[in-house]
Amino acid sequence: MSTGIANTAARPTRPPSRTGSRGAGTRIPLIVTAVLLVAMFTVGSLRYDGFFSTQVVLNLLIDNAFLLVVAVGATFVILTGGIDLSVGSVVALSTMITASLVQHQGWSLGAAVPLVLAIGAAGGALMGWIIHTFEIQPFIVTLAGMFLARGLCYTISTESITIDDPTTVGIAQARLYGPGGLFVSVSVIIALVVLLIAFVVLHHTRFGRGVYALGGNETSARLMGLPVGSTKVAVYAISGLCSALGGVLMTFYMLSGYALHAMGMELDAIAATVIGGTLLTGGSGFVLGTALGVLVLGTIQTVINFQGTLSSWWTRIVIGGLLLVFIVLQRLMTGRRASTD
């Protein structure tokens, strides 16, 4: 009897699964976001003619395709308990490099885009390596990356670079039509493909499980034999890649490269991720929730545009209020889990 008890005591207890018995709890912010989005559309539809239509929803995706891609990349980082403040500056740098190569250097778009994506991924991987190797706070490293990327924009040009390359303009103006005359842009298709890939990677691969484990408890992840270092480098590389791709999509949207593009987008990406239900402390969240968060931000802007009498600054005010509410909700949830443990 004593031997059995000793063996039982020595056997390591398995940490509770975040998607198991507590799955319903982790989905509460996601459900709240979905309800909020439906409520906003309902109110907008009752107040404004033409608000409730499928094309309005598609327009949200058209106007925010680049933000969706950037926010997806930010979700990977935040799930590990990190943060990436460089994403907005990398978006701007990507627009500048793309515009400069295509417009001034005579590169084809097909040659410029892979280089831009490689630069973004390499920059993200470098920041992730520095964070892991020297054990520096991600806030500091990515803040340095933010200033570096924004500064590099001005070494290319201090003025906006307008693109009139036929291929780029053709892709930017292309419309993919569906039933009833509904349409989306090429950028929307790219953003949805990125979202689908991210969903599969996070929820159906070993790497994705490692991302959640790293965010849940880095020490435990290391003791379990998970490749903590390579995972951390990889998530920042993914964030850099998505930021660069977001910059390419913004180039299509704006048909220009400019050092002041995407000012504050890093905060929009973080806000969309948090509103979508991803914990800032890491370990819990859904990439589909991030997509809902982006739609919420876009809907706020759309409602203000339909109103017509409100300043665009009200967008920031409402987003700030929502972000505060969701952060408090996260705190209450994590505090309740800690008390039950």
pLDDT in tens, 226-249: 999 999 999 999 999 999 999 999
Average pLDDT, the chain: 88
Query: What pLDDT, in 10s, does the model give residues 263-284?
Result: 999 999 999 999 998 998 899 8
Identity of the residue numbered 74: A
* Structure tokens given for 277: 């239900």
Q: Is residue 21, in this structure, part of any structural domain at all?
A: no
Q: Is residue 113, in this structure, part of any structural domain at all?
A: yes
Q: Is residue 327, in this structure, part of any structural domain at all?
A: no
The yes-or-no verdict on residue 24 having pLDDT over 80 is no
Burial of 285 (0-12, 13-18, 19+ CB in 10 A): buried
Calculate the CA dihedral of residues 179, 182, 187, 188 and round it to 10 degrees.
-80
Q: Is residue 223, in this structure, part of any structural domain at all?
A: yes
Q: Tell me the backbone φ, ψ of residue 221, rounded to 5 degrees.
A: -60, -40
Whether the model clears a pTM of 0.85, i.e. scores above it, the answer is yes
Instruction: Count structural domains, the chain.
Output: 1
Angle at 268 between CA 35 and CA 190, to 5 degrees: 85
Query: What pLDDT, in 10s, does the model give residues 64-118?
Result: 999 999 999 999 999 999 999 999 999 999 999 999 999 999 999 999 999 999 9
Looking at the chain, the number of H-run helices and the number of E-run strands are 15, 4
Q: Is residue 238, in this structure, part of any structural domain at all?
A: yes
Q: Tell me the backbone φ, ψ of residue 257, rounded to 5 degrees.
A: -120, 135
Q: Which of 195, 181, 176 is CA-nearest to residue 54? A: 181
Q: Is residue 47, in this structure, part of any structural domain at all?
A: no
Q: Is residue 249, in this structure, part of any structural domain at all?
A: yes
Q: Could you tell me the pLDDT band of residue 121, with boundaries at 50, 70 and 90?
A: very high
Could you list the residue range(s) of the whole structural domain that residue 158 is in? 65-263+278-289
Mean pLDDT of 135-159: 97
Taking the C-alpha atoms of residue 246 and residue 52, their distance in angstroms, rounded to an integer, is 28
Taking the C-alpha atoms of residue 147 and residue 2, their distance in angstroms, rounded to an integer, is 63
Looking at per-residue pLDDT, the higher value among 16 and 46 belongs to: 46
Q: Is residue 339, in this structure, part of any structural domain at all?
A: no
The per-residue pLDDT for 142 is 98
